[in-house]
Amino acid sequence: MTPLPLIPKSKHGKFADSGVAVKRKRHPNPRLAKIHRNYTVEEVAGLYGVHRNTVREWVKRGLPTSDDRRPMLILGRDLVGYLQAQRTKNKRTCQPGEIYCVRCRAPKAPAGDMADYQPLTATLGNLIAICSDCETLMYRRVSLPKLKQIRGNLDITMPQALPHIGESAQTSVNSDFR
Ligand SMILES: [Zn+2]
């Protein structure tokens, strides 16, 4: 067994020593994160040589985190997926009923048109579904008030603790999609 080659630090880990932030257009290399590791915001910032606020911005734009723990943890797999999606972001945006699949690199309809809603706050959450093409988990950050607009013909399973999202809420009781 040959060990995996180490990625040279000098290529990615440089910090400008002037206080002036140099705007780098190049996206960070997604592969720097280990997929089975959890990272704090500080660790992610250190790993990619970006500011902590940059990492927080990624989270705001949809990078999934563990919402139930402090400090907030980011799974390497999510990090890699998110950065790859950013890197290859194409101009197609998700239509109602679609979620961006990071493996297909395109908006995809979830398998069985089913998705789970996972609340993050009272008004914000993730739609989680399985890509109908490659079976990768897909995430779409949504605000609860906009859920009706983007749901398309999706059958969205709401958590039991969240009884109402409006008159068209379909609380699916027979879904074994977990
Ligand atoms: Zn896919």
Q: What is the pLDDT of residues 26-74, one digit of tens each?
A: 567 888 899 899 999 999 999 999 999 999 999 998 899 987 777 889 9
pTM of the entire structure? Answer: 0.42
15 CA → ligand 1 middle, Å: 35
130 CA → ligand 1 middle, Å: 8
- Give the dihedral sign, CA 6/10/11/17: positive
- Helices (runs of H) and strands (runs of E) counted in the chain: 5, 8
9 CA → ligand 1 middle, Å: 32
Residue 2 has pLDDT above 50, yes or no: yes
Q: What is the mean pLDDT of residues 117-146?
A: 93
162 secondary structure, DSSP code: -
pLDDT of residue 132: 93
Q: Residues for the chain: how many in total?
A: 178
> Rounded to 10 degrees, what is the CA torsion of 132, 136, 142, 148?
20
pLDDT of residue 174: 47
42 CA → ligand 1 middle, Å: 30
132 CA → ligand 1 middle, Å: 7
Task: Name the helix (H) or strand (E) containing 75.
Answer: strand 73-75
pLDDT of residue 70: 79
93 CA → ligand 1 middle, Å: 15
Q: What is the mean pLDDT of residues 71-96?
A: 82
129 CA → ligand 1 middle, Å: 10
Q: Which domains does the chain have, with CATH numbers?
A: 30-89 (1.10.10), 99-157 (no CATH)
160 CA → ligand 1 middle, Å: 28
11 CA → ligand 1 middle, Å: 31
pLDDT of residue 25: 47
150 CA → ligand 1 middle, Å: 19
Residue 163 has pLDDT above 70, yes or no: no
